[in-house]
Structure 1
Amino acid sequence: MEIRKLLFVWTLVFLPAMGPWKDCEGATACTLQDRSYHVKLPDDWDGETPLPMLLHFHGWGRQGDLIVKHRRISGATRRRGVLLVAPNGNGRSWDFWGGRSDDVEFAAAVIENVAAHYPIDRKQIYVSGYSYGAAMAWRYACENGNAVAALLAVSGSLRQDEACPQAPREVRHVHGFADNVMGFPMGPGGDETYPVALWRQQFGCGPGQEESAWGAVDFLTFDRRVWTDCVEGHKVTLDLHPGGHFIPHGWIGWQLDQLMGRVPHYP
């Protein structure tokens, strides 16, 4: 079933059962037919201003209730006026290995139902994830990414030979060389830029360039490579670090600040 048709079905079923905005927030899940998701409002929201949204897919074995209280995720969104939305995967995991994932349709329906209750800024919909959730975020961007402002992926991706019918406007990916869970996808001949080869090829990017090393905290430094000479204004950013499989301190907040035209800060 096409995603837009499925959205109509999901929304038709869901909306009559949805109560006031705060019937579900934080650890209390919002139900969506036979599934659910969590939301976390930003600090000091006035109840009217359109909200940027970060849709974040949890890692394997987790659920969205962890995400909305995670200091490195929700700690970043709530300080930046961003609405955090965390879908719950079936069996605490995601279907991302092959194309036409039901989880893509579910996540798209989550966005539409959130938008029925909160004023969403459609130009600032960001999709993120960690580990298996990062691979799911890649899958979502690959299948339904045309309306996504940026993909923010942490330590997880798809095969770089995937064919993606859609794409976000911008891609930002971070990965550690010592990752022993979703291992660093080194390219042929030791190509360290291979983790984003799929998007660089799809966007028709040139050779790219290295930027100055940076860090949100003094104990972790990133080497950054960027590709800005891509078709139709697309951009790809790759941050590499020597560590393992984790969400780096300050990384999500730093990306949101830059994407929203603000001076990056921590936390």
Structure 2
Amino acid sequence: MIRSILAALAFVGSASVVSADCAGEPGPCRVEGGTYHIVLPRAERPPVLVFLHGHGGEGAGPISNQQLVAPLLARGWAVLAPDGDMLPGGSGKRSWNFFPGWEGRDEAAFLRAATEDAVARFGLDRERVVLGGFSAGAFMVNYLACAMSQAYSAYVPVSGGFWRPDPEACNGPVRLLHTHGWSDPVVPLEGRILGGGRFQQGDILAGLEIWRLANGCVDHKPDSFSVTGPFHRRLWASCDPGGVIEFALFPGGHMVPEGWADMMVDWYEALGDH
């Protein structure tokens, strides 16, 4: 019932949906629980970004977004875009079953099946699988990282955090790059109230505190500040071994901003010890 209510909310969309396929074969790749789309670089054992679309979209959307995909392919990365679970009510729209207690598909099991299928079928590097997502997909990324901090090599949500009530605690350590728009009206930094007060998006900065605690960071204060293109960045690296948190804020709204793909790859490659 909750998901059907959310389906009626003006929550999030992803890029325009166009036809995508299974690495050149017509139609999406099929695994137990659902389908996914994938594009591959001309490289052996490439790393892969698993990217989750926004509410109401499907995996074909991210795959068709050249601002996202082209820089990754150019740097030897594959992009895998799963299809969210079909929303009830016959709307034909998809989203992610991220909030604890919601009924629906076991998203962790489905994403694991899609990733393992792609690794085996296309020769991807299983040690370099990064989970990212936009908006509703980013909320899904945060909840999966909270429950399974070591399931993926790193987590890179864009424009999404937690919903209230926030998790009491998350597992760690985790390697997390959170990117957010300064003027995002759909998922504001402070969160917002939806459904006449029934639901609340959480405060993004409060979510970062949860991650600092999970990572055992020694201070609330960032270790460093930097600017990369439009991104104003804050880094917490004085944390438990294997734990890194970075927050990248850009002067825009609810979007995957231009330059994000290259920034993400630079960030990930600088981590080392994949």
C-alpha deviations, 1:202-241, integer Å up to 9, x for none?
00112323423221xxxxx222111010011311000112
Aligned to 1:185: 190
Structure 2 Cα separation of the partners of residues 83 and 168 of structure 1? 25
Structure 2 Cα separation of the partners of residues 250 and 65 of structure 1? 20
Kindly tell me: are residues 185 and 151 of structure 1, through their superposed partners in 2, closer, same or farther at Cα, counting changes over 3 Å?
Answer: farther
Kindly indicate whether the alpha-carbon contact (under 8 Å) linking 1:99 and 1:143 is maintained by their aligned counterparts in 2: no
SS state at 2:112 partner: helix
Counterpart of 1:235, as a letter, is V
Aligned to 1:209: 223
2:252 counterpart (243, 246, 254): 243
Structure 2: give runs of 5+ residues left out of the alignment. 1-20, 87-93, 192-202
Structure 1 Cα separation of the partners of residues 137 and 162 of structure 2? 11
Kindly indicate whether the alpha-carbon contact (under 8 Å) linking 2:223 and 2:238 is maintained by their aligned counterparts in 1: no
Runs ≥4 residues deviating over 3 A: 163-169, 191-195
1:24 counterpart (22, 28, 42): 22
SS state at 2:47 partner: strand
Instruction: Name the TM-score, length of structure 2 as normaliser.
Output: 0.75
Structure 2 Cα separation of the partners of residues 249 and 168 of structure 1? 29
Do structure 1's residue 94 and structure 2's residue 96 form an aligned pair? yes
Counterpart of 1:32, as a letter, is V
SS state at 2:61 partner: helix
Aligned to 1:138: 142
Structure 2 Cα separation of the partners of residues 87 and 261 of structure 1? 27
Counterpart of 1:183, as a letter, is P
SS state at 1:55 partner: strand
Deviation at 1:195, TM superposition (A): 4.3
Q: Percent identity?
A: 32
2:175 counterpart (157, 166, 170): 170
Aligned to 2:35: 36
Structure 1 Cα separation of the partners of residues 127 and 75 of structure 2? 16
The RMSD of aligned alpha carbons is 2.5
Kindly tell me: are residues 239 and 165 of structure 1, through their superposed partners in 2, closer, same or farther at Cα, counting changes over 3 Å?
Answer: closer
* Count of aligned residue pairs for this structure pair: 227
C-alpha deviations, 1:4-60, integer Å up to 9, x for none?
xxxxxxxxxxxxxxxxxxx82267301113521111101x22xxx222111110011
Kindly indicate whether the alpha-carbon contact (under 8 Å) linking 1:24 and 1:30 is maintained by their aligned counterparts in 2: yes
Structure 1 Cα separation of the partners of residues 143 and 226 of structure 2? 30
Aligned to 1:121: 125
Structure 2 Cα separation of the partners of residues 106 and 154 of structure 1? 21
C-alpha deviations, 1:51-90, integer Å up to 9, x for none?
2111110011111112112123212221111111111011
Deviation at 1:118, TM superposition (A): 2.2
Deviation at 1:164, TM superposition (A): 5.6
Structure 1: give runs of 5+ residues left out of the alignment. 1-22, 216-220, 263-267
Structure 2 Cα separation of the partners of residues 58 and 149 of structure 1? 19
Do structure 1's residue 157 and structure 2's residue 166 form an aligned pair? no
Kindly tell me: are residues 226 and 38 of structure 1, through their superposed partners in 2, closer, same or farther at Cα, counting changes over 3 Å?
Answer: same
Kindly tell me: are residues 177 and 165 of structure 1, through their superposed partners in 2, closer, same or farther at Cα, counting changes over 3 Å?
Answer: closer
Instruction: Name the TM-score, length of structure 1 as normaliser.
Output: 0.77
